[in-house]
Amino acid sequence: MGFLLECPNCGKRDVYEFRFGGEAHKRPRVNSSSEEWMKYVYMRENVAGVQQEWWFHRLGCHKWFLAIRDTRDNSVSI
């Protein structure tokens, strides 16, 4: 039914106000190997645990931010 997420600009809000932007991972350099690019484009860690991820405050300040979320219980820290 939706947990609370703390936007650095607006404070704690219902997660439905946000768009999930996926796991944060580093984009390879343009001339990196195709394996590296393949991993970046298609592979995800999908951890059961803590990960850093992007969120966009769609119904608020329209800003992207990084949050640390535990995927097991959706507890979030910034």
Partner 1 sequence: MLNFEFNGRRMSAFEGDTIASALYASGVRIFSRSFKYHRPRGLLCVSGRCPNCLMSVDGVPNVKACTERVRAGMKVKSQNCWPSLEHDIFSVIDKIGRFLPVGFYYKTFINPPIEWSRVEWIIRRLTGLGDIEEEIASATGKGPKDGRSIHSSSFEHLNLQADVAVIGGGPSGIFAALEAGNAGARVVLVDDQPALGGHLRYSGETLSIDVATGEGAYSGLKSSAVASTLEKAVRDRPNMTVLDNSTAFGIYESNLIGIVRGNSVIRLRAEQLVFATGAHEFPSVFQNNDLPEVFLGRGIQRLVNLYGVIPGKRAVVVSNNDSGLGVARTLMDAGVKLEAYIDSRKAVGAPETLAEIEDAKVQTFLGWAVKEARGSKHVSSVVICEVDNEGELVHGTERVVSCDLVSLSTGFETEAWLLNQTGSRTIYDELLREFIPRELKPTVYVCGDLTGIHDLNIAIMQGKVAGLSAAVNLPAMERSSELKVEYQRKSLETYSRLVSQYEGKYREGMKRTRGPDVLVVEYPGSDKMRKRFVCVCEDVVAKDISLATFEGFDDIETLKRYSTVTMGPCQGKMCSMPSLHLCSRVTGRSIAQTGRTVSRPPYVPVAMGALAGAELHPVKLTGIHYKHIELGARIMDMGEWKRPHVYTSVEEEYKAVRESVGVIDVSTLGRLDVKGRDAGKLLDFVYTHIFSTLKVGKSRYGVICDDAGIVLDDGTVTRLSETHYFITTTTGNVEFVEEWLVWWATALRLDAYITNVTAGLGAVNVAGPKARDLLQKLTTVDLSSGAFPYMSSAEGEVAGVPCILLRIGFVGETGWEIHFPAEFGEYFWDTLLEAGKEFGVKPFGVETQRVLRLEKKHVIVGQDTDALSNPFEADMAWTVKFEKEDFVGKAALVAAEKKEPERMLVGFVMKDSMVAHDGDQVFSQDGSRHVGFVTSSKFSPKVGRCVGMALVTPEHYKEGSLIRVKSDDALNGAEVTLAPFYDPEGKRLRA
Contacts of 26 (CB under 8 A, 6+ apart): 40
Binding site for Zn ion (CB under 5 A): 7, 9-10, 57, 60-61
**Hey, what's the torsion of the CAs at 27, 28, 30, 32, to 10 degrees?**
-160
Taking the least distance from each CB to Zn ion, the nearer of 5 and 51 is 5
DSSP alpha helix (H) spans, the chain? 34-42
Asked whether the beta carbons of 58 and 19 are under 8 A apart, the reply is yes
Task: Choose the contact partner of 7 out of partner 1, Zn ion, none; CB within 5 to 8 A by kind.
Answer: Zn ion
Q: 71 by DSSP, 3-state: which?
A: coil
Binding site for partner 1 (CB under 8 A): 1-4, 14, 19, 21, 27-32, 34, 37, 40-42, 54, 56, 58, 62-64, 73-75
Least Cβ distance, residue 11 to Zn ion (angstroms): 8
Task: Choose the contact partner of 67 out of Zn ion, partner 1, none; CB within 5 to 8 A by kind.
Answer: none
